[in-house]
Amino acid sequence: MEDSAIFRARLDLTPYALIAQAATAVRVPSVPDIRLARGNGLANSVGMNRLTRERGSSLVEALVAALIVSTGVVTMAQLLSIATVTNLAARRSTVAAIVAEQKLEELRTLPFEYLQTSPSSTLEQNTDGYVDYVGIYTRRWSIEPVSSIPGSSLVIQVLVTTENEASRGTRTAARIRGHARVVAIRTRRAK
């Protein structure tokens, strides 16, 4: 009996109960229903009306946006700094290579008899007659005979460094940034 009383209470179909059930029922309209009821735009659907009425942003959103923008600006500033330093080093290396090539061409155009064998340490330290200065660059060169054929071939080396690097003394050329080193072999012409 108790089950039938609960069953009857659920099936109470009085007009007031039907109105209450209809008011609490949630109906999701379909796309054609929305078009017919409110025009052709989907922006007027029930869920979208609530979203379009919300305006502004929260403090958290503003802080996140500021964090993203500031991270981007700091990163771009670091990249600009790195690019500037790299560009300066590339410019110094290019000018050093040009200065070294000029000296090498000058030594190659001299008659073979004027080329004197240099002391062994002319590339590591300034040696009179084997060093000159071009702007901020120190240019050193060495002339050594090829050991397999003495008197007929010479190895000419030119090393260009900046004044700061040249004043440090006996650092090896391989570790110096912004330097240039060119090497050529000059052979005596047969008569």
- Among residues 127, 132, 125, 126, which one has the least CA distance to residue 107? 132
For residue 68, is pLDDT > 90? Answer: yes
Give the pLDDT confidence of 76-95 residue by residue, as tens digits: 999 999 999 999 989 999 99
Domains and CATH numbers, the chain: 2-53 (no CATH), 87-187 (3.30.1300)
Residue matched to tokens 């059930």: 21
Share of the chain above pLDDT 90, in %: 34
Paired with 145 in beta bridges are 154
What is the mean predicted confidence (pLDDT) over 4-27? Answer: 53
Query: The sheet that has 153-162: what strands, in order across it?
Result: 131-134, 137-145, 153-162, 180-187
Instruction: Give the C-alpha separation, 178 to 88, whole Å.
Output: 9
Residue 6 has pLDDT above 80, yes or no: no
Q: Is the pTM of this model over 0.95?
A: no
Report whether pLDDT(153) > 80. Answer: yes
Q: Residue 160: which of 82, 80, 103, 86 has the closest Cα?
A: 103
Structure tokens at 149: 């054929």
Segment 145-164 mean pLDDT? 81
Arithmetic mean of pLDDT, 101-125: 89
Beta-bridge partners for 13: none
Dist. CA 43–CA 46, nearest whole Å: 9
How high is the pLDDT of residue 121?
Answer: 86
pLDDT at 21: 59
Average pLDDT over residues 178-186: 86
Q: How high does pLDDT run on average in the chain?
A: 76
